[in-house]
Amino acid sequence: MKRSLEMEATKHPHIIPQSYPWLVIADGKNLERQTLVNISNNHFDSGTIPEMHNKSICTSSKEWLVLKDIDSMDLCLLSLTSKEVVKLPRLQLPQFDFINDSYICILSSPPSESNHDCYVMFIDRSTCKFYFCQPGDKEFSEQVFEFDLDDRLKSITAATMFREKVYFLTWFSGQPPIYELFTAEFVGSNLHFTKFTRENFPRSPPSRGQTNDYLVECGGKLLWIHKMWGGWNLTKILGFLIFQLEFSSRVWVQVNNIGGWTVFLSRYHGMEHKAISCFATEKGIRQNSIYFTKSFDRLIYVFDLEDRSISKSLSCPIVGKYNSRLDWVMVPNTKP
């Protein structure tokens, strides 16, 4: 990839709003360097953003990031464009660390003057506990998601904001396992959980390998992306299945084409991180495709939904392979 002409190792990377996600790469011993990769023209811009030093990205909403300090576990919100920082309460939880992060993070909306609709939420996948707060709160609130399905074990595999509600996918043990979709919305100061799908959705795993799930809004529709991977060391991507939720019948329907849209998947240390979609209007952004990354890897992979092929390219030649963290982040285009 070509090197950006503006690149300065001691200055902030240039933040220019785009209609598609950037790949933000944090590397260095203390994640002190940030590299922004423009995938439309294969340029990158590297420098330091002091507010992101020693911090990992939990999730994002537009230009706002939820950051976690990898040593102290302190949390904050950061605007990539204005560099405004909003402090959040501490959250002391088991395995809430840099390497073994088993929590799904959701930022409901960017902060505003009232912060009425802005919630930061962490979901414990295994215990199905929801932890949430708003900017200005002194502590996180806690609520357990309780739903019994024939005494099966359960875990939450994916979640996203959609139509002002949290939609989350719940796995129930069995042969085959069952997947159910639920919603969570605030009623007063508490979460109200509702089962959304009208029928159980069995998803038989491949005979060999593993699977992971994402939920993402795409063109006003809710998609469930089912990633399959395997190989002798469980690092080879075998393919993707995509299902669209039909709201009238409340059932999942498999789709093989998302038109001019593109989906971007982030992954770190074995955990499914987040998903972003955009309408691919820029030259160099491949439509009807899924961009994804792997742990301990600085390559960008693209899965073509039409021919089911996977291509790859080097994201940036100057970042480390093993100590880098790759995240897709959308900075909205503010041009009229």
Q: Domain containing 223 — which CATH number?
A: 2.120.10
Measured CA to CA, the distance from residue 51 to residue 78 in angstroms comes to 8
Token duo for residue 145: 């998601």
pTM: 0.88
Token duo for residue 294: 């792997």
Return the pLDDT at 99.
47
Q: Report whether 52 contacts 31 (CB < 8 A).
A: yes
Pairing of strands 43-47, 2-3: parallel
Please confirm whether the linkage preceding 176 is cis (ω < 30° from 0).
Answer: yes
Q: Report whether 48 contacts 36 (CB < 8 A).
A: no
In a domain, 334, yes or no: no
Return the pLDDT at 14.
63
Q: Report whether 86 contacts 66 (CB < 8 A).
A: no
Return the pLDDT at 95.
63
Return the pLDDT at 298.
78
Return the pLDDT at 107.
93
The total of structural domains in the chain comes to: 1
State the residue range of the domain holding 12: 2-329
* pLDDT beneath 70, residues of the chain: 1-19, 94-101, 113-115, 199-209, 234, 268-273, 321-322, 332-336
Measured CA to CA, the distance from residue 81 to residue 88 in angstroms comes to 19
Q: Report whether 312 contacts 302 (CB < 8 A).
A: yes
